[in-house]
Structure 1
Amino acid sequence: MEKKIDKASKSQKRDEMIKSAYNIFYKNGFHATGVDAIVDCTGISKRTLYKHFTSKEGLIIATINYYHQITYGAISDYIEKSTLDQPVDRALMIFDYLTALVDSGNLDGCFAMNARTEYAHKAKEIEESCDIHVAALQQLVERYLTEGKISDSKSVAMQVIMLFEGAILRSKGTESSLPIKLAKSAAKIICSQ
């Protein structure tokens, strides 16, 4: 019984560290956030941090995985709760989800894309974690496009995700959802060809 409680406590502490680090990284960036800042904000010791994560990069990967979990789940739920009948329309709801985020004031962009950009060609494991997130979104879009009988749905899904990623970057830079709406319009054209 004591071992179960101890494991649950460790797991809870680990989850708290991930959530705290996630918020700090999202706000300040990855390179700009040192381990000391994370320790100060979480109230844990460096020893405890390194006990759960072998390095700062290990913690970053855990935060990317956390982001993927919450974001992919939120996007999937958003689409599933839709009353739209056409699978292609449902696939393109990723843009509507993003529009709602930006319009509500979330202008920090995609956590995974931010990490990928900061660690491009510097940390393979971080890049791979980011790529898993993007690949999962692409597969989600592809599933709906396949249901909608879109020919070469894999290639079209890749194009839609490229528009989605571009919309994220432009909306972050312009602090506006207009690029997202324009990207959705372009995605509709691609899907209708």
Structure 2
Amino acid sequence: MKNLLFSVCTAFILFSGFTQAQHKKTKAMDTQSIYQFKAQDLSGKTFDFSTLKGKKVLIVNTASKCGFTPQYEQLETIYKEYKDKGFTVIGFPANNFNGQEPGTNEEIETFCKLNYGVTFPMMDKISVKGADMSPIYQFLTQKEKNGVKDSEVKWNFQKYLIDEKGHLVEVYYSKTKPDAPEIVNWIKQ
């Protein structure tokens, strides 16, 4: 009888500890979102991601001298079409791939406006991979931080879709254009 009672008590203690650990893990994942971040835009102003609550967001790493650079045009088109319908695009220039974004913030801003009429928010140039990876990209690429999936930024113009609650939904690589049906359908849902 003592052994049975001991076994039941031990099982209860182990189960309680497991349940509490799971609850803490679930709670931590519930509170992690894109809203915890702030960044500097190209003109040096602070951009608070908590201002995006309730919006769907497409985050993209950009470059001015890349074969995918013409995607700026499609990004601007979907931004203009859906910006008043709870959607935005956020661009992060990065020079991680073959030096394809060598410019300063001022040069990047001029290039984007002059060549593609970009009006969507563009942030300060950052690193999207390696030891100096920006905290926001650590969140986007690490399942332990975003709660959804691990990914690696493979090239310029990789797209991360964020839902209205600030959580990662999906990742699309460079070849998927910003106006691809899977992205536009997600925006319209």
Per residue, is there more strand in 1 or in 2? 2
**TM-score, structure 1 normalization:** 0.26
Which of structures 1 and 2 has the larger relative contact order (alpha carbons within 8 angstroms, sep 6+)? Answer: 2
Whose radius of gyration is greater, 1 or 2? Answer: 2
Per residue, is there more helix in 1 or in 2? 1
**TM-score, structure 2 normalization:** 0.27
